[in-house]
């Protein structure tokens, strides 16, 4: 799958990086991977499937960060965020 996704991802990230450079971005453009880590935009196409898998990881990391910033202690994702609207979300005891 990475070989099929890689060329399109490479073109997209190259264009995005060029736009940011023209706007003054001096640091590297990093792309999240499914393990929660990040790679340089130039390396991401070689690991394209891990980049696509980062969508769920990024959502979880982002929601945990937002929860902490807002000071919420007991939060859970909406059932659609878990990938299946039919699968029940386990409730935590209060």
pLDDT, tens digit, for every residue of 8-60?
Answer: 889 999 999 999 999 998 888 888 888 778 889 999 888 887 777 666 777 77
Residue 49 lies in a domain: yes
**Alpha helix locations (H) across 33-90?**
48-52, 54-70
Q: For residue 67, with 0-12 CB atoms within 10 Å meaning exposed, 13-18 middle and 19 or more buried, which class applies?
A: middle
Residue 87 above 70 pLDDT?
no
Residue 91 lies in a domain: no
Residue 93 lies in a domain: no
Residue 57 lies in a domain: yes
Among 13, 66, 56, 16, smallest CA distance to 36 is for 56
d(CA 11, CA 51): 14
Residue 87 lies in a domain: no
Torsion angle of the four alpha carbons 51, 49, 58, 15, in this order, in degrees rounded to the nearest 10 = 30
Residue 40 lies in a domain: yes
Question: For residue 6, what are the domain limits?
Answer: 2-77
Residue 9 lies in a domain: yes
What's the number of domains the chain is made of? 1
3 band by pLDDT with thresholds 50, 70 and 90: confident
Residue 71 lies in a domain: yes
């Amino acid at each position: 799958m990475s070989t099929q996704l890689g060329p399109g991802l490479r073109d997209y990230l190259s264009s995005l990086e060029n736009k940011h450079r023209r706007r003054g971005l001096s640091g590297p453009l990093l792309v999240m991977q499914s393990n929660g880590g990040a790679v340089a935009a130039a390396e991401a196409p070689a690991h394209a499937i891990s980049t696509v898998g980062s969508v769920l990881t990024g959502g979880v990391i982002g929601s945990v960060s937002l929860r902490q910033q807002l000071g919420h202690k007991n939060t859970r994702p909406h059932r659609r965020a878990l990938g299946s609207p039919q699968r029940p979300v386990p409730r935590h005891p209060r």
